[in-house]
Amino acid sequence: MKREVPLFLTAVIGLFMILSFFVPHQLVSVPADFLQQSAVIVVAFGYVLGGANVLKVNFDGIYKRQSGWPYKLVLVVALLVTVGVGLAEGRTWQDPHSISIWIYNHLYSPMQATLFALLSFFIASAAFRAFRIRTTEAALLAIAALIVMLGRVPIGDHYLTARIPVKWLQMSSIQQWIMDNPQNAAKRAILIGAAMGVMATGLRVILGIERSYLGGED
């Protein structure tokens, strides 16, 4: 029963949600809405579960003095302080002078921006050290990458190919062609393949063939 009941519920609800996509009648849409709302509530509980899991994993790491434990300590303290401040401030946390907004504007926001900005340095370093052209395919990839990279910015059109009188030979036109045609064809193939994979997995879950989401081994 431990496995049959979840499998049965998954099959019934899965089929019902597919049905709701095609049948707008109240008999279907009202329960479907209820299920959607339940999903949103479950996701909200997921945050609580996620937070508890972060605390558990990191407390363990700190207690056992695992490598990098001081960083775990910073994470736990930051998490507890942010949640504590938010709870203490209540509804006033959105006040422009609240501590929560200060934490968001002066810690969270710049740290996220910094982390993202570091990418530019590592991309340049990786371009120098790792982007090796060893095969014809790699050469084609590199040429396409160079054209798109330079064609996407004004320097490509207005400086590198400024003297070429034919519009379609200019950097931006070539990069737009690459984006519209070869890139699009490949992307579309990937999208279609992924969508078919999702459908197949969905069907396997609904029909009870795919059971890994239940956890454990039978």
* Separation between Cα atoms, residue 64 and residue 72, nearest integer Å: 11
Residue 199 phi, psi (nearest 5): -65, -45
Distance CA(213)–CA(216), nearest Å, equals 9
Q: Cβ neighbours of residue 34 under 8 Å, at least 6 residues apart? A: none
What sign results for the dihedral spanned by CA atoms 70, 72, 75, 76?
A: negative
Stretch that binds another protein, among 7-15, 53-61, 64-72, 121-129 (CB under 8 A): 121-129
* Among 18, 87, 88, 94, interactor with another protein by CB under 8 A: 94
Binding status of residue 53 toward another protein by CB under 8 A: no
- For the bound state, the minimum distance from the C-beta of residue 215 to another protein, rounded and expressed in Å, comes to 22
Q: Is 172 in the site for another protein (CB under 8 A)?
A: yes
* Selected binder of another protein within 56, 106, 158, 204 (CB under 8 A): 158
Based on the shown chain and the rule CB under 8 A, indicate whether residue 121 belongs to the binding site for another protein.
yes
Q: Which of 8, 7, 13 is nearest to 211 (CA)?
A: 7
Residue 48: what residue type? Answer: V
State the nearest-atom distance from the C-beta of 19 to another protein, in Å: 14
CB of 46 to another protein, least distance (A): 8
Q: Helix (H, G, I), strand (E, B), or coil: what is residue 64?
A: coil
Q: Which of residues 7-26 bind another protein (CB under 8 A)?
A: 21
- Residue with structure tokens 């979840």? 6
H/E run at residue 101: helix 99-103
Of 1-9, 29-37, 72-80, 205-213, the segment contacting another protein by CB under 8 A is: 29-37
- Residues 180, 172 contacting (CB under 8 angstroms): no
Q: Which stretch binds another protein (CB under 8 A): 4-12, 75-83, 175-183, 201-209?
A: 175-183
CA distance 179 to 162: 21
Query: Shortest distance, CB of residue 85 to another protein, whole angstroms?
Result: 14
Which residues here bind another protein, judged by CB under 8 A?
21, 29, 33, 36-37, 39-40, 43-44, 46-47, 91, 94, 101, 104-105, 108-110, 112-113, 115-116, 120-121, 123-125, 127-133, 142, 145-146, 149-150, 152-155, 157-158, 172, 176, 179-180, 183-184, 187-188, 191
